[in-house]
Amino acid sequence: MAVSLSVFHPTMAHRRILWNVFEENVIPVVMIFHKPSIRDIMASVAADGSGIDRALEAVIFAVYFAAVTSMDPEQCAETLGEDHSYLQQHYRTTLFLTCLRAPEDAAFVWTMTAAVHRMAQGLGLHRDGTYFGLSPFEVEIRRRLWWSIYLLDSRSSEFRAIGPQITEHSYDTRLPLNIDDSALSPDSIEAPEEKVGFTEMTFCLARCEMIVRHRRFHLNIHSGTSSSQGEQTSHQLGERMHALEQISGQLQDRYLRSCDVSVPIQWVTATVIRLALARSWLIAHLPERVTAEEITLRGTSSVQDPTREQLFQTAVEVLEFAYLLDTDPRTKQWSWFFESYPQWHSVVFVLSELCARPRTILTDRAWAVTVRAVARWTNTDFRKGGITLKIILQLMEQAATAHGRVWAGIGTQTSPLSGVSQESDGQMLYPS
């Protein structure tokens, strides 16, 4: 049944605003589209959206929806003169009429990701486009789309604490090229050469590679013979640390060396890589197949004291930098994106330690960042249904009681952290 969407299109002035927001807030961190092509499509659409086919219209409304989602309510009211939630519903409804789908919460996204994955397989996106004799442009856009689905699968699976649907042996689609969009054109006959250094694609490319390496690393560390009661030997830990050092060196050579931390998106890229490495370092020291519940029940009694101190300090720094990514004014336009990746493993670890430690300068610092992080990361409906939230809130109560504090609950006001700045390149995050 055909449904006219003309009444849902914004005015030309608002369309220009939404495109600029999409270009500044979304494209640097979610690189699916070819920016010049989408810009041309947006510019060619009539004021009422007439004369455009349904597939392109769906893309245009996806741009509107993503742009509004990336804005905070105050920015929406100031620039568009409309309520943020109303505009989200407005464009979400349009997407529903176009695609008969509407994102609601983590469970829905996780369920629908399975459908998207199957559709991608049906289109052959799990096979690299070079096998099909496609043009360089088609090959590259297919790669971007497949890896965006891969990232979505990883995120939604983690929210549900369930293994990913896309396994490492089920695809051979290569990573996208490290290029700027200006190097790619629908008329390209030959694939562009990869650029050495930071490009428009580097942030998304680094995320893809980090998740692949993270999966393979944790698959390998859990594939060996476990010691009694899940404990690990010093030899097993040594092997894990050696593997992680190799991964760190590879990411350093490929991405970190080219990051100019005075440029916000490049500082963000360096910090995200360091956060991922630090998280892997923390998990590698925990007993095999450990869950959030087990961290809470078992604590870190199996970790020797010097290492335990380093684990605790690293976990605190992970929370500080993750919170900084969410709240620093210089990266504010991407906070909508980073708040979708709460560092719950580090939160659980830090809170478990706070329950057992005496009050010190470090525990005060840990409590300060944890209160702010938990308040921010549980502040949307998307996370409130998460299976770890109950554990987090229980641990917050226990940690507050252990240190004689009064915790005001998840509505606690958030504020900037002292002692952490964007001038740092994140070196402190990853222990040597």
pLDDT at 221: 55
The set of residues, in sequence order, having a beta carbon less than 8 Å from that of 429 and lying 6+ positions away, is 271, 274, 275, 277, 278, 314, 317, 318, 321
**What is the identity of the amino acid at 330?**
R
Cα distance between residue 14 and residue 19, in whole Å: 9
Q: For position 387, what pLDDT does the model report?
A: 44
Residues 29/203, Cβ–Cβ less than 8 Å: yes
The band of 302, judged by pLDDT with boundaries at 50, 70 and 90, is: very low
Residue 136 has pLDDT above 90, yes or no: yes
Give me the pLDDT at residue 161, please.
66
Number of C-beta neighbours around residue 266 at 10 A: 19
Per-residue pLDDT tens for 190-213? Answer: 999 999 899 999 999 999 998 888
- Looking at every residue in the chain, the average pLDDT score rounds to 80
pLDDT of residue 411: 57
Distance, CA of 337 to CA of 415 (rounded, Å): 19
CB 76 within 8 A of CB 116: no
For residue 100, what pLDDT is reported? 35
**DSSP element (H, E) containing 408:** none
Secondary structure percentages of the chain, helix, strand, coil, to 5: 65, 0, 35
pLDDT average, residue stretch 334-347: 82
9 has a pLDDT exceeding 70: yes
Quick one: which of 105, 94, 204, 88 has its CA closest to 149? 204
Residue 112 contacts residue 101 (beta carbons within 8 Å):
yes
Q: Residues 218, 280: contact at Cβ < 8 Å?
A: yes
Other C-beta atoms closer than 10 Å to the C-beta of 280 total 21
- 86-121 pLDDT per residue, tens: 777 766 555 444 443 334 456 777 788 888 889 889
In this prediction, residue 164 has a pLDDT band, given cuts at 50, 70 and 90, of: confident
Contact 266, 260 (CB under 8 A): yes
pLDDT recorded at residue 414 = 45
* Cα–chain center distance at 413: 24
pLDDT digits (tens, 9 = 90+) for 261-290: 999 999 999 999 998 888 888 877 765 544
pLDDT for res 235: 74
Between 305 and 149, whose confidence is greater?
149
Radius of gyration from C-alpha coordinates of the chain: 23
Tell me which residue has tokens 């089920």.
170
> Which of the residue ranges 4-8, 40-44, 255-259 has the most confident prediction, judged by mean pLDDT?
255-259
**Cβ neighbours of residue 297 under 8 Å, at least 6 residues apart?**
none
pTM over 0.85: no
54 DSSP assignment: H
Nearest to 299 by CA among 230, 371, 355: 355
